Amino acid sequence: EDQVTQSPEALRLQEGESSSLNCSYTVSGLRGLFWYRQDPGKGPEFLFTLYSAGEEKEKERLKATLTKKESFLHITAPKPEDSATYLCAVQSGNYQLIWGAGTKLIIKP
Amino acid sequence: GAVVSQHPSRVICKSGTSVKIECRSLDFQATTMFWYRQFPKKSLMLMATSNEGSKATYEQGVEKDKFLINHASLTLSTLTVTSAHPEDSSFYICSANSGRALNEQFFGPGTRLTVL
């Protein structure tokens, strides 16, 4: 069964303390893995798409990497405004999009 | 680019009434739009896939007669919650494929529905 698991469920960091969020997946025929950021009461905001193992993408303090079974979202020297829920989604071979439950990231000043 | 809007952002209605939510792609044409429901502290639950000019495809367990979806143009899809009940209260979000890349979905800001 296709499945996406995000960990940890919640992560509290001090401002400037780098860390990583994990998205593990089992899917038949990966077409793409997506990272989104969601602020409370708002729709998800697109961050990255990764298509194949070994691919990396960066945007400001965020860097997403992909292997054959998981993706990491690395956050370097985070700021309080990086606080949000980060969602991972995987598109399977039949184009179905499977969502993880998200990681709530809190950056304390 | 790739901006999706939703209207209204918040709606409160009485039990038994119907509520219509609009989803628009503002700067691109979207042949496919998606409707999601999100419960507090939970991830997105796909309700249906809406294709322009044809009937929507509903996910298992979603009542098509309760959640009416219309995708009349390449920039507009609507979700109507018919005879709403308190258990329909939720955060409803639409998304659309941008067309720039095969798989990327861009989301609207969401609609908070409260049924009294």
Within B1-116, strands assigned E span 4-7, 10-13, 19-25, 32-38, 44-51, 57-58, 67-73, 76-81, 90-97, 105-107, 111-115
Residues of B in contact with A106 (CB under 8 A): none
Alpha carbons B12 and B19: distance in angstroms, whole number: 9
Q: Which of B44, B57, B79, B107 to mutate: most A Cβ within 10 Å?
A: B44
Q: Are A44 and B93 an interchain contact pair (Cβ–Cβ within 8 Å)?
A: yes
The pLDDT value recorded for residue B1 is: 63
Q: In angstroms, what separates the C-alpha of B26 from chain A's closest C-alpha?
A: 16
The pLDDT value recorded for residue B102 is: 58
Q: Which two tokens mark A13?
A: 């960091």
Q: Are A97 and B105 an interchain contact pair (Cβ–Cβ within 8 Å)?
A: yes
Inter-CA distances, B83 with A61, B17, B68, Å: 46, 5, 11
Evaluate if residue B105 carries a pLDDT over 90.
Answer: no
Q: Note the pLDDT tens digit of each residue in A32-88.
A: 999 999 999 899 999 999 999 999 999 999 999 999 999 999 999 999 999 999 999
CB-based contact, B99 to chain A, within 8 Å:
no
Inter-CA distances, B19 with A101, B68, B81, Å: 28, 10, 5
Q: Note the pLDDT tens digit of each residue in B24-76.
A: 999 888 888 999 999 887 888 999 998 888 889 999 999 999 999 998 888 99
**Beta strand pairing call for A97-99 and A19-26:** unpaired
Q: Are A44 and B43 an interchain contact pair (Cβ–Cβ within 8 Å)?
A: no
Q: Are B103 and A34 an interchain contact pair (Cβ–Cβ within 8 Å)?
A: yes
Mean pLDDT for A4-8 is 96
Mean pLDDT for B4-11 is 96
